[in-house]
Amino acid sequence: MKKIVFIIKDFFNAGLERRVTNLSNELANGGCSVIILATHGVAESTIFRLHPNVSVVMVDEGKKTFTEKTPKLKDDAETIEKEKPQTITPAAVHSGGKSKGGLKKSLKERGYELVCSNNLFRSVYYKKLSKSVYRDWFLKQKPDVVVAFGLSRFQKAVFATRGMGIKVFDAELLTLKKSISQDKKTYSYYSGLLKKSNGIIVQTKEEGEYFGKEKDIKIHVINNPVKPGLPEAYRGKRDEVIVNYCRMTPQKNIELLIDAFEKLHGEYPRYRLEVYGNAQDNEEREYKNRILRLVGERNLDDCVSVYPPAADVHKKVLKSAMFVSSSDYEGLSNSMLESMAIGLPCICTDCLGGGTREVMTDHENGLIVPMNDAEAMYRAMKEFIENPALAQKCSQNAMKIREKLSVEKITRQWLDVIENN
């Protein structure tokens, strides 16, 4: 039985957690033992059901402790974002010295800023952190494979497992153009680390081209799986509702969606916009509040609603007229895939990362609009309203994604990469 560790930033109720949970459960169904290691926090309750052979462990880098914190399942998620997550403040820079003030104080205050901006400091910091915090835990757990989601966690995995014979993969979440500074030294630093690993797993072909010139880097393109157990598509008359469900971060550019909807609402006043917004940390809650203020300033309170996340969100949106995503960048959007799978006519921005064009063909299984173009988004929404035959065609074709990206097929791709690299 293979033992696999997935390292993620936190385990709350967002897209990455959904992706990792679906993958972990399917691997566990196949006989694997899976640990999801969260470096920053774990929610007390979750909308994701976990297999018995999947556990969630939270690390406190400051105290150097690893504690199993598998969250309770919450079927009714209406109050999830009101609950206080079990958060961990990342460890301060491990200077190891006894000097007071000056450099030590500066490092504590600006440690993560320096980590992100200085390759030498980054290397020293992660080597020391990995040795002092993570290495003993990996020696005890003896996993066969470690998959780290995000470059900071990938660095920890590379340094902590060195010499143990453990396979290590980087799995990227967003477009690499956003994840990696574009200077040559930073590119060289990360490409060097990847050459020492078993490769990088990206979500789209476009992302796979980022390190394409590096012959010694193994690049694996694996799309996200579609969540299993989704409701069947609705076949009747659709409600006059436009929906989006997402994590409330600026990358989702909900302002653009509101701009486009406001113009549409002037012509079709019976239509509503409903956003199910997941806000787990202070930054996300502030962004959600900004969106709520914008709705009030535009006097759209009677036609725009922002709801908490819901465990049964797919049932809630099933009869909607369309799903509209306004993101500036994505890996491969889970909400887009799930909306396609349940037969919603979908409109998505051609965002950085290539996720939309990876699975969508314009006017065949959805409508693709340019980024930051409210006028184009408005026209696309209007086109679906005025051309129900097109909406129905896109709905029917979109549902094919359910079989194409089934969790069983995607898990087989993961196992093939893990076993053969």
Q: Is 322 part of a structural domain of the chain?
A: yes
**Are 356 and 410 contained in the same domain?**
no
Q: Is the pLDDT of residue 126 over 70?
A: yes
- Write down the pLDDT at residue 75: 58
The answer to whether the beta carbons of residues 315 and 278 sit under 8 Å apart is: no
pTM of the model: 0.83
**Are 131 and 67 contained in the same domain?**
yes
Domains of the chain: total: 2
Instruction: Write out the residue range of the structural domain in which residue 36 sits.
Output: 3-225+406-420
**Are 411 and 395 contained in the same domain?**
no
**Are 245 and 205 contained in the same domain?**
no
- Write down the pLDDT at residue 128: 86
Q: Is the pLDDT of residue 287 over 50?
A: yes
**For range 78-97, the mean pLDDT:** 39
List the end-to-end C-alpha distance of the chain, in Å, as a whole number.
18
**Are 329 and 319 contained in the same domain?**
yes
Residue 291's CATH number: 3.40.50.2000
**For range 77-104, the mean pLDDT:** 40
Residue given tokens 């992660």 in the structure block: 126
**For range 311-322, the mean pLDDT:** 95
Q: How confident is the model at residue 111 (pLDDT cuts 50, 70, 90)?
A: very low
The rounded distance, in Å, linking the Cα atoms of 370 and 406 is 28
Q: Mapped to the 3 state alphabet, what secondary structure does 323-347 carry?
A: EEECCCECCCCHHHHHHHHCCCCEE
Q: How confident is the model at residue 181 (pLDDT cuts 50, 70, 90)?
A: low
The answer to whether the beta carbons of residues 394 and 367 sit under 8 Å apart is: yes
Q: Is 195 part of a structural domain of the chain?
A: yes
Q: Is 260 part of a structural domain of the chain?
A: yes
- State pLDDT tens for residues 265-274: 999 999 999 9
- Write down the pLDDT at residue 199: 94
Q: Is 286 part of a structural domain of the chain?
A: yes
Q: Is 217 part of a structural domain of the chain?
A: yes
- Write down the pLDDT at residue 212: 78
Q: Is 233 part of a structural domain of the chain?
A: no
Q: Is the pLDDT of residue 257 over 80?
A: yes
**Are 367 and 314 contained in the same domain?**
yes
Q: Is the pLDDT of residue 381 over 50?
A: yes
Length of the chain (residues): 421
The rounded distance, in Å, linking the Cα atoms of 332 and 346 is 14
What's at 258, amino acid-wise? I
**Are 203 and 303 contained in the same domain?**
no
**Are 383 and 252 contained in the same domain?**
yes
The rounded distance, in Å, linking the Cα atoms of 411 and 37 is 19
3-state helix, strand, coil in the chain (%, to 5): 45, 20, 35
**Are 304 and 212 contained in the same domain?**
no
Q: Is 236 part of a structural domain of the chain?
A: no
In this structure, is the dihedral angle defined by the CA atoms of residues 139, 143, 145 and 150, taken in order, positive or negative? negative
**For range 285-296, the mean pLDDT:** 96
Q: Is the pLDDT of residue 107 over 70?
A: no
- Write down the pLDDT at residue 151: 86
- Write down the pLDDT at residue 104: 44
- Write down the pLDDT at residue 88: 42
**For range 211-237, the mean pLDDT:** 91
- Write down the pLDDT at residue 120: 66
**Are 214 and 257 contained in the same domain?**
no
Q: Is 234 part of a structural domain of the chain?
A: no
Q: Is the pLDDT of residue 255 over 60?
A: yes
**Are 399 and 411 contained in the same domain?**
no
The rounded distance, in Å, linking the Cα atoms of 56 and 9 is 12
- Write down the pLDDT at residue 118: 65
Structure tokens at 350: 């051609």
**Are 389 and 412 contained in the same domain?**
no
